[in-house]
Amino acid sequence: MIKVLIADDDIIVREGLKMIISSQEDMEIAGEAENGSAALELARRVRPDIALLDIRMPECDGITAAEKMLAEEICAPLLLTTFDEEDFIVRALKSEICGYILKNSPAERIIHAVRTVNAGGTVFQEDILKYVREKISPASGGDFFKELSPRETDIVRLIAEGLSNRQIADTLFLSNGTVRNHISAILEKTGLEHRTQIAVMWLKNV
């Protein structure tokens, strides 16, 4: 079972997400919170697999809570956002958070996002991809990854498509360890810090 914690200061949103998650046979609600601080404390106690976090919450916003969850290796956060939160989105894209989805997404997209992030993949909803391309300036005219080998470039592309290391390994007929080694080499060559930044930089340059 995928244990999902839900945090949003709007009770209507929380109830809607609870209904969506509870309808899945492979998911269960690990708890709910109305602000980032409460979500972090609850996550420390119940150890969910995924934390669905609204970006804008009182006391502690979703990005701060997500970063602390990642730093403490508690769970994988998935951020819920809207397009009136430009500063928050830009800040989130600089972090190691691997999932971003719009609040008004249909149930099937939310379920797919939860499963993808739980499997170690990255989620950038199409509308958010469009936002990244339009709002954030491209770097060096598409040459950012020019030092990579063809195999490393393939792996970067698959990371940006949201695939986990295991899925990349299966797609390219590699071992999981080989994929990890390639990702380490990619980070070293580009000066990036984590796979989310790899995905963002690729999307800015395609």
Predicted confidence at residue 9, as pLDDT, reads 93
Predicted confidence at residue 123, as pLDDT, reads 83
Low-confidence ranges of the chain (pLDDT < 50): 140-141
Predicted confidence at residue 87, as pLDDT, reads 66
- Which fold would CATH assign to domain 2-135? Rossmann fold (3.40.50)
What pTM did the predictor assign?
Answer: 0.73
166-205 pLDDT, tens per residue? 899 999 999 989 999 999 999 988 888 788 788 878 876 6
Three-state SS for the chain is CEEEEEECCCHHHHHHHHHHHHCCCCEEEEEEECCHHHHHHHHHHHCCCEEEEECCCCCCCHHHHHHHHHHCCCCEEEEEECCCCHHHHHHHHCCCCCEEEECCCCHHHHHHHHHHHHCCCCEECHHHHHHHHHHCCCCHHHCCCCCCCHHHHHHHHHHHCCCCHHHHHHHHCCCHHHHHHHHHHHHHHHCCCCHHHHHHHHHHHC
Kindly report the CATH class assigned to 140-205: mainly alpha
Predicted confidence at residue 141, as pLDDT, reads 41
Hey, where are the domains in the chain?
2-135, 140-205
